[in-house]
A and B are shown apart, each in its own frame.
Chain A
Amino acid sequence: MTAVVVGDVVWAVLAAAVGGWAVATALAGGRVPGVGAVARWFLQCWLGRAVLLAGWTEVGWHLFCQRP
């Protein structure tokens, strides 16, 4: 059993904030940009798509090959 540390609590608060905001924007009926709208905004052109793909690459390499 791993003890809960202060960093875990902060991450839980951040996760709740991100999740809560995602749900709130989904319920707002398009008045406020949600996750899908943000993704569609990036994916309109090569530059936005390349930025997201670069982030996806970094996340994948770090999580599956580098993480200590």
Chain B
Amino acid sequence: MLLAVATLAALAVWEGGHPQQTPAAHWSVALTIVAAVAVAVAAGRGRQHTPSRRWLASSARAAAGWRRAPQRAAGAAVWVLLVLAVIGWDMNSFVHQAHDLPTLSYLFGRVTRFRWGRALVFAAWLAAGAGLVAGCLVPRGRNGAGR
């Protein structure tokens, strides 16, 4: 675990020194993505909590029966609205291409143009990826789904 964290931290520091136009930056990001997907498939085989079809069906049932837990439903609706607001405003800014309407990636660019800013944002992206790859896995054979 410690070795994995140290490796990812070293990768982030190294990435910080490679601006986005460089082939090294492209290759390192592409290889990181390929590695993440490969590890997700290898580590997640037989360790998902629920089969996808059952997940979809139970989610649809929960949405349809929102009256049973109105507080939870309202909370989830607020998350959906916030995500839609962020995506919508980003699309609006992108379409208008105006100085007064910076996109989210332009704002991130104000940070990632600096070596340590790029390294820190890359480290945060790696941490998020690690969570998505290894998060919420159950021991093999205990998921009742076998997939």
* Nearest CB of A to B108, in Å: 6
* Complex Cα gap A19–B72 (Å): 18
Residue of B nearest to A55 (CB): B132
Residues of B within 8 A of A57 (CB): 33, 36-37
Q: Give the contacting residue for A43; candidates B74, B109, B136; CB below 8 A.
A: B136
CB distance from A37 to the nearest CB of B (A): 9
Please give the distance in Å from B36's CB to the nearest CB on chain A: 7
Contact A47 B15 (CB under 8 A): no
- Among B81-137, those with CB < 8 Å from A are 82, 85-86, 89, 93, 98-102, 104-110, 112, 118, 121-122, 125, 128-129, 131-133, 135-136
CB atoms of B125 and A60 under 8 A apart = yes
Interface residues of A in 1-31 (CB under 8 A from B): 2, 5-8, 10-11, 14, 17-18, 21, 25, 28, 31
Tally B residues with Cβ within 8 Å of A: 58
Question: Quick one: closest A residue to B45, CB to CB?
Answer: A46
Q: Cβ of A21 and Cβ of B79 under 8 Å apart?
A: yes
A interface: dominant SS? helix
Contact call A46/B44, Cβ cutoff below 8 A = yes
Please, how many residues of chain A have a CB less than 8 angstroms from a CB on the other chain?
41
By the criterion CB–CB under 8 Å, are B109 and A67 in contact? yes
Write the chain B residue with the least CB distance to A61.
B29
Q: Residues on B close to A: CB < 8 A?
A: 15, 20, 25-26, 29-30, 32-33, 36-37, 40, 44, 48-52, 54-56, 59, 71-72, 74-76, 78-79, 82, 85-86, 89, 93, 98-102, 104-110, 112, 118, 121-122, 125, 128-129, 131-133, 135-136, 147
